[in-house]
Structure 1
Amino acid sequence: MKSLLLFIFLVLITNSVFSQVVINELDCDTPGTDNMEFVELLSETPNFPLDGYVLVFFNGSDSGMNSSYFAIDLDGYITDVNGILLIGSNSVSPVPQLLISENVIQNGADAVAIYQANDFDFPEETVATIENLVDVLLYDTSDADDTDMIAIFSQDPRFVDIEQINEGSSNNTNSIQRFEDMDGNVTYTSTTPTPRQLNDGSGIIFNGISINIEQSQYNEGESFDITFTSETNVATNLDFNILLNNQGFNTSDYTGNTSITIPSGQSTASTTITLIDDSDDEGDEVTRIRFESLPVPYVQLNDNIEIRIVDNDFTMATFGTPLEPTYGTVASTQPNGYYNSLDGLADDALRQALQDIIAEEGVVRAQTYADVIDILKEADQNPENSNEVWLVYTEQGRPKLDFQTGSVSTGRWNREHTYPRSRGGFFDIEEDEIADGRNIFWNTTADSLRHGNSDAHALRAVDGPENSTRNNKHYGDPNLGGYDGSDASSGDPMRLGESFRGDAARSVLYMAVRFNGLAVVNGYPENGPGELGDLETLLDWHRTDPPDDYEMNRNNVVYTWQFNRNPFIDQPDLVEYIWGDNIGDVWDQQLSVSEFDLTNIHVFPNPTSNRIYIRGLQHDAKMDVLSIEGRQVKTFDLQGDGYVDLELSNGMYLLNLYSNNRQIVKKIIIN
């Protein structure tokens, strides 16, 4: 009998605790980019600690299968004087006490629930449950009822009559708000959002304070004003502090008063911040202006205002950009003998030996997809500005800080797979979201195809919208608007410029050797993952755009992370022995002077507007430029590899090269 009474007492206590917190308001869909979504919790008593509670979001779609996609542990959070805890992104106004990323909350038909549990009790794809349930709200945006989700939560006697609440059609301006009458009856209404306020208009009404600045970017040495404005005049002096420190940006980088007072009876105050122009190359930085604290009854209408500080102490590389390439300045950092095992081999044996080098288990490392961001910041650094990355396709620099982290890609850069993921059959896993640094890595082999997702030899920094346009098209397919010189579907000019054609080719060919299950083939196959075209196009690109210093530098950088190299940058002629003109020939990387053959001379780019580079000369040489009819136009003396400005009118010419009593003729087009 005593045990039964104790059980009843515990049940009553538990139910009393469970009723302390409810879901008070939900805005699951907002116009535009959904950056103003929020959920609001309400406790029966003000300043209520939420330790031991977790907020869980469930996906009710057919693919979601009523399982969790996001969980927020509420330990350490306390509701305010009105009993409210607002959860949302920094774009919500007033700014929530608990910040989450933008566009996290799904539209429905879905559910959000409070449990007495921890976030690790609800890993992704945990099916909805009523165990330890505190409160739940089922919602949608004019979607059909999710009867399965309703059936799950209606098993709880408190929610036996639960219904799915409609916030409104897509891009609506409403929120779902909870109302409880004097008899404890609960109803929900879709109406104008009231974040950080009680739905019935009662309670303490906050006076909101906003932060205002004129620009979002300043240079070192400049000054700017920060103005603070309250919605209504303050009754007494309002004293508060602001913070500007953010990562490497600290008090050594600026001067100015960070203790602010809005005088009694007024609504504004300001301070001036001066950025110190030092001589350190710190890279561009971001400061975040934010309130340290505000007393009741004040709340921040906005917060965490970002300002970019442009560092004028950037450095420049000794080599050129892909648009202004240089050659021979950056040496390969391959270890001595790295490719020695290839000598004397041909055909499949040569290819297998090459794979054994670049996919050697126990030596080659695989990094996470998040690590690739840091790799690209180093490998694709703009030679003209160390604070930027150089973008494939658009061929321009972009600040490293502008990596895309949200749904908006305009003005941002992200990661482009030169071998499209859908054609390679490799995708993210959960661990790929962790950037754990150079010295934490996966063991990998030639069969570890999934690691193709994060192989930096086949990833490039790219403009966000351009990445979407690229999609998974084959290289050179005009029927798909391919990257071959014209976009057949729209008439747009090619997106892959001449300066990156060879880079893309060598990157894709590397993947075909590095991983089993990948192939580069002729034509434009549509037979599922594992094949990418067009081989003929890529071979042409490789030949007309040989490796430059920029590409060699990135090969060296990636090697420091992955412990493997792209051999077609170090030894470009290997391409011919595996796919091209030298198939069947025996490879020998060590060519003596007496064995030197003028057929190994490369002239590029071709076509060109003026300047050509000559690669492969081991002796002084002479070059006669002839018209297509054979008339000598110009003569140049060459001293090893270098470049020549032809300064010729448009047309086709012949280059007659003499070296070491040998001769070769190359065609060149000037346009």
Structure 2
Amino acid sequence: MSSYGNVVVAFLYDGEEGVEDGGFSIDDFKFNEGHSGGEVDPTEYYNAVDGLTGYTLKTGLYQIISSNTTVLEYTPGVWEAYATTDDKYGQGQIIWDMYSDIPDPNNPSVPDAAQPNEYEYDYGQGGDQCTNTPGYEEGCYNREHSFPKSWFDDGYPMYTDIHHVVPSDSYVNTRRSNYPYGEVGNATWTSTNGSKLGSAVSGLGYSGTVFEPIDEYKGDFARIYFYMATRYENVIDGWDRNSSSADDVLNGTSNQVYETWYLNLMKKWHTNDPVSQKEIERNEAIFLIQGNRNPFIDHPEYVTEIWGN
């Protein structure tokens, strides 16, 4: 009997005669061919970076999470991935959308679809998927590049990297556009679940328009951004030239990666909203599909070990 993540594989010999000469063998049996697959011990996955700190640690992580990865097709690959990566109740029916979910204030980590005005989307092309927004909330869900695709000039494999391409209400996705995440001082628009668009709060270190997700998911997005800074270390230093909003966030280096105001904000969100069970399960599901992990979910301490306090 062998165990692969949540799957146990066993073979039963039902012959009439006894097993002799060491039993039987099965040749060329493969499970999740193409990458290691399955649930892994994060300590073993990150063995190569033991003892490293600072940007040397970041480069070591880049080498780990950039190896033996699978590049998905945008259609149907990303759509199909959501069946397991963002399965809200573990039944393959409802998508977990961070832009529309309204947490129970008494038990925010457990979704219940019971909060006032909360709406949800059915999974699948026969459900509530769409490629064009109807122009209002609660119409359909699509694919949100939480790290805007214009910042990396629509390049691959970033375009279909499901660590940062998340399902979202199509209209909220449109309103977010390619604005940086931030904390809003004066909201010009607020979604049903409380996500905000508006001018940055005073003291943020940035005075432009920002999009602010609700507190329950700020850490999720921060860890996505630390992942992007690490996974694409080899190319990210040139992305600040792709758009003005990219230049507002990226500092043109491959080590610090983000402007100081943005780095401080992401570290704050990372600290204030610790890793959730949702993130852990999503990270595991992505590993089974894409073959790599988000190190900052497995090891939240890597953030300060790389970028300091």
Distance 1:409 1:344 in 2: 51
Do residues 426 (structure 1) and 154 (structure 2) align?
Answer: yes
Structure number with bigger Rg: 1
Q: Which amino acid aligns with 1:368?
A: E
Q: Deviations over 1:451-503 (max 9, x none)?
A: 11100001111001000011111121648969998543599x97511111111
Do residues 518 (structure 1) and 236 (structure 2) align?
Answer: yes
Q: Which residue of 2 aligns with 1:567?
A: 295
Q: Deviations over 1:63-113 (max 9, x none)?
A: xxxxxxxxxxxxxxxxxxxxxxxxxxxxxxxxxxxxxxxxxxxxxxxxxxx
For the Cα contact (< 8 Å) 1:369–1:454, is it kept in 2? yes
Q: Which amino acid aligns with 2:270?
A: H
Aligned to 2:56, the other structure's residue is in SS state: helix
Instruction: Give 2:218's match in structure 1, choosing from 475, 481, 501.
Output: 501
Instruction: Give 2:165's match in structure 1, choosing from 455, 459, 464.
Output: 459
Shift of 1:414: 0.5
Do residues 346 (structure 1) and 74 (structure 2) align?
Answer: no
Shift of 1:518: 2.4
Q: Which amino acid aligns with 1:571?
A: H
Distance 2:182 2:292 in 1: 28
Distance 1:373 1:580 in 2: 37
Aligned to 1:365, the other structure's residue is in SS state: coil
Aligned to 1:460, the other structure's residue is in SS state: strand
Q: Which residue of 1 aligns with 2:69?
A: 364
Q: Deviations over 1:506-555 (max 9, x none)?
A: 0111011101232699xx96638965661111111111111111111010
Q: Which residue of 2 aligns with 1:535?
A: 263
Q: Deviations over 1:287-307 (max 9, x none)?
A: xxxxxxxxxxxxxxxxxxxxx
Change (3 A) 1:580 1:540: same
Shift of 1:335: 6.1
Which aligned pairs between 1:259-274 and structure 2 lie closer than 5 A?
A: none
Shift of 1:385: 5.4
Shift of 1:393: 1.5
> Superposition RMSD on alpha carbons, in Å?
3.5
Which aligned pairs between 1:311-350 and structure 2 lie closer than 5 A?
A: 333-334=40-41, 337-350=44-57
Q: Which residue of 1 aligns with 2:129?
A: 403
Shift of 1:505: 0.5
Distance 1:378 1:384 in 2: 8
Q: Which residue of 1 aligns with 2:26?
A: none
Distance 1:530 1:537 in 2: 13
Change (3 A) 1:418 1:487: closer
For the Cα contact (< 8 Å) 1:394–1:495, is it kept in 2? no
Q: Which amino acid aligns with 1:471?
A: S
Q: Deviations over 1:213-234 (max 9, x none)?
A: xxxxxxxxxxxxxxxxxxxxxx
For the Cα contact (< 8 Å) 2:49–2:60, is it kept in 1? yes
Change (3 A) 1:505 1:335: closer
Change (3 A) 1:377 1:509: same
Aligned to 2:224, the other structure's residue is in SS state: helix
| TM-score, length-scaled by structure 2 | 0.64
Do residues 577 (structure 1) and 305 (structure 2) align?
Answer: yes
Aligned to 2:93, the other structure's residue is in SS state: strand
Shift of 1:406: 4.6
Change (3 A) 1:468 1:455: same
Distance 1:463 1:513 in 2: 28
For the Cα contact (< 8 Å) 1:547–1:572, is it kept in 2? yes
Percent same amino acid among aligned pairs?
A: 29
Aligned to 2:52, the other structure's residue is in SS state: coil
Q: Which amino acid aligns with 1:399?
A: D
Instruction: Give 1:394's match in structure 2, choosing from 94, 97, 100.
Output: 100
For the Cα contact (< 8 Å) 2:87–2:93, is it kept in 1? yes
Shift of 1:338: 0.6
Shift of 1:377: 2.4
- Higher RCO, 1 or 2 (CA under 8 Å, sep at least 6)? 2
Q: Which amino acid aligns with 2:50?
A: D
Which aligned pairs between 1:130-149 and structure 2 lie closer than 5 A?
A: none
Q: Which amino acid aligns with 1:488?
A: G
Larger displacement relative to structure 2 (411-420 or 474-483): 474-483
Distance 1:547 1:456 in 2: 18
**Structure 1 unmatched ranges of 5 or more:** 1-330, 428-449, 582-671
Distance 2:87 2:135 in 1: 20
Do residues 488 (structure 1) and 198 (structure 2) align?
Answer: yes
Change (3 A) 1:469 1:455: same
Greater helix fraction, Structure 1 or Structure 2: 2
Which aligned pairs between 1:56-95 and structure 2 lie closer than 5 A?
A: none
Aligned to 1:366, the other structure's residue is in SS state: coil
Distance 1:489 1:350 in 2: 35
**Structure 2 unmatched ranges of 5 or more:** 1-37, 102-118, 202-209, 252-257
Aligned to 1:457, the other structure's residue is in SS state: coil
Shift of 1:397: 2.9
Which aligned pairs between 1:616-631 and structure 2 lie closer than 5 A?
A: none
Change (3 A) 1:541 1:457: same
Distance 2:152 2:171 in 1: 22
Distance 1:548 1:344 in 2: 26
Q: Which residue of 2 aligns with 1:99?
A: none
Q: Which residue of 1 aligns with 2:86?
A: 380
Aligned to 2:198, the other structure's residue is in SS state: coil
For the Cα contact (< 8 Å) 2:130–2:140, is it kept in 1? yes
| TM-score, length-scaled by structure 1 | 0.31
For the Cα contact (< 8 Å) 2:184–2:200, is it kept in 1? no
Aligned to 1:415, the other structure's residue is in SS state: strand
For the Cα contact (< 8 Å) 1:424–1:530, is it kept in 2? no
Q: Which residue of 2 aligns with 1:547?
A: 275
Distance 1:499 1:556 in 2: 20
Change (3 A) 1:409 1:339: farther
Shift of 1:567: 0.5
Distance 2:82 2:73 in 1: 13
Change (3 A) 1:528 1:504: closer
Shift of 1:349: 1.6
The count of residues paired between Structure 1 and Structure 2 equals 225
Distance 1:498 1:513 in 2: 24
Q: Which residue of 2 aligns with 1:591?
A: none
